[in-house]
């Protein structure tokens, strides 16, 4: 009897140890996962392997308070708001957008025509009457996957081959430009329309890192064609040792982007690749197209469920978990990137991107300008 009891306790003790070790290991593993994710935060693809994007049972989704990201101080409440609370934030953004569109002194920066370039950016989900304007570097791949599944070409997100996500001839997610003028007008005036933005300068840093430094998608034209063209035109010193071999510097990039008149000609040479750095106004024509919602990357945890709900698809899909911290605005990083760059060049850059700052309510980066 006593012996059996002792065995019992020993077994219990052993179980306790195993549990403790397991807890430690899981903690360590999830920490690693965030780390890896953070590595890719600069890129636009956020696919976390095994994340189930489309859930058959989304009922519990809305209440999920989960781990909240510490937020940008600008316009976000500190407690986790519900989808209903977030609606007023989202509505204020749309109101701000429309009032800034009316400001005539910003007209040049905010108004663009609904050209083929813009219609190429907009993806169509006819089944649920949704239009999505693609803006790189804010987790767009996930939204595209959601819409591809909703359109019915694939049953789940996992079954979409990576090679097809961006192949709009085959993935069942057509561009708005592929429709007839009348069909385009109809969709623009009746569908739910949205896109996602982030702090304009942080976005440029992200584009620079992703295309000219890391280039993880093996797109050689950024380093081999576009960078040398920018360097030739915008690098101050043309010494041999300092030339293209060292790669594009952020300073060259900033001078190019801020050169309102000069960049048009070279932008045309670069074709569609400029989508990574032209203004959101140029990409999505937000003053001409009356968008229903504009999500912010910095508050994606609130915006993603809000948008799904406002678009009427929250019962069908959910956005994958966003690891805490990765969408947060990082002022230190912005300061570092701009630290060696002249005020004059930064002010010119701001002059070019001011429309985006104002339209979407991002505070002007006074810490860089003054």
Ligand X SMILES: *[C@@H]1O[C@H](CO)[C@@H](O)[C@H](O)[C@H]1NC(C)=O
What is the binding site for ligand X (CB under 6 A)?
Answer: 103, 105-106, 108, 325, 330, 332-333, 336
Of 137 and 168, nearer to ligand X (C-beta) is 137
- Strand partners of residue 50: none
Of 164 and 205, nearer to ligand X (C-beta) is 205
How many CB atoms neighbour CB 329 within 10 A?
18
CA–CA distance, 76 with 81 (Å, rounded to integer): 9
Of 166 and 328, nearer to ligand X (C-beta) is 328
Of 191 and 360, nearer to ligand X (C-beta) is 360
| Closest distance of CB 26 from ligand X, Å | 23
| Closest distance of CB 129 from ligand X, Å | 33
Of 34 and 229, nearer to ligand X (C-beta) is 34
Q: Strand order of the sheet with strand 192-197?
A: 122-125, 130-133, 192-197, 293-296
CA–CA distance, 162 with 155 (Å, rounded to integer): 15
| Closest distance of CB 326 from ligand X, Å | 8
Q: What is the DSSP string of 201-217?
A: HHHHHHHHIIIIII-TT
| Closest distance of CB 53 from ligand X, Å | 25
Q: In sequence order, which residues have a C-beta less than 8 Å from that of residue 291 and are 6 or more positions away?
A: 94, 97, 133, 193, 194, 195, 284
| Closest distance of CB 109 from ligand X, Å | 8
| Closest distance of CB 336 from ligand X, Å | 5
Of 88 and 330, nearer to ligand X (C-beta) is 330
Burial of 21 (0-12, 13-18, 19+ CB in 10 A): exposed
Place of tokens 């956020």: 46
């Amino acid at each position: 009897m006593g012996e059996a009891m002792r065995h019992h306790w020993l077994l219990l003790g052993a179980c306790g140890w195993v549990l403790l070790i397991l807890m430690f290991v899981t903690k360590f593993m999830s920490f690693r996962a965030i780390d890896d994710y953070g590595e890719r935060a600069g890129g636009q693809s956020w696919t976390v392997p095994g994340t189930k994007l489309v859930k058959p049972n989304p009922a519990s989704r809305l209440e999920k308070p989960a781990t909240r990201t510490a937020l940008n101080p600008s316009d976000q409440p500190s407690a986790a708001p519900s989808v209903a609370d977030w609606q007023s934030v989202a509505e204020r953004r749309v109101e701000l957008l429309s009032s800034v569109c009316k400001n005539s002194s910003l007209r040049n920066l905010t108004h663009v025509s609904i050209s083929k370039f813009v219609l190429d950016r907009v993806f169509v989900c006819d089944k649920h009457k949704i239009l999505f304007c693609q803006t790189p570097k804010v987790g767009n791949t996930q939204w595209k996957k959601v819409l591809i599944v909703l359109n019915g070409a694939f049953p789940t997100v996992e079954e979409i081959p990576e090679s097809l996500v961006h192949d709009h001839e085959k993935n069942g997610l057509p561009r708005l430009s592929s429709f007839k003028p009348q069909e385009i007008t109809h969709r623009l005036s009746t569908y739910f329309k949205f896109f996602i933005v982030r702090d304009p300068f942080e976005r440029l840093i992200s584009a620079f890192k992703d295309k000219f430094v890391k280039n993880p998608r093996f797109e050689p034209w950024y380093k081999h064609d576009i960078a040398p063209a920018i360097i030739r035109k915008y690098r101050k010193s043309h010494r041999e040792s300092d030339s293209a071999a060292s790669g594009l510097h952020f300073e060259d990039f900033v001078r190019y982007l801020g050169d309102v008149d000069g960049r048009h000609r070279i932008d045309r040479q670069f074709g569609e690749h400029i989508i990574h750095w032209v203004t959101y106004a140029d990409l999505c024509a937000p003053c001409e197209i009356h968008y229903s919602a504009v999500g912010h990357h910095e508050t994606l945890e609130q915006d993603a469920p809000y948008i799904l709900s406002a678009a009427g698809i929250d019962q069908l899909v959910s956005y994958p978990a966003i690891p805490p911290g990765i969408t947060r605005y990082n002022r230190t990083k912005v300061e570092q990137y701009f630290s060696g760059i002249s005020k004059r060049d930064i002010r010119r850059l701001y002059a070019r991107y001011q429309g985006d700052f104002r339209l979407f309510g991002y505070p002007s980066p006074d810490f860089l300008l003054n």
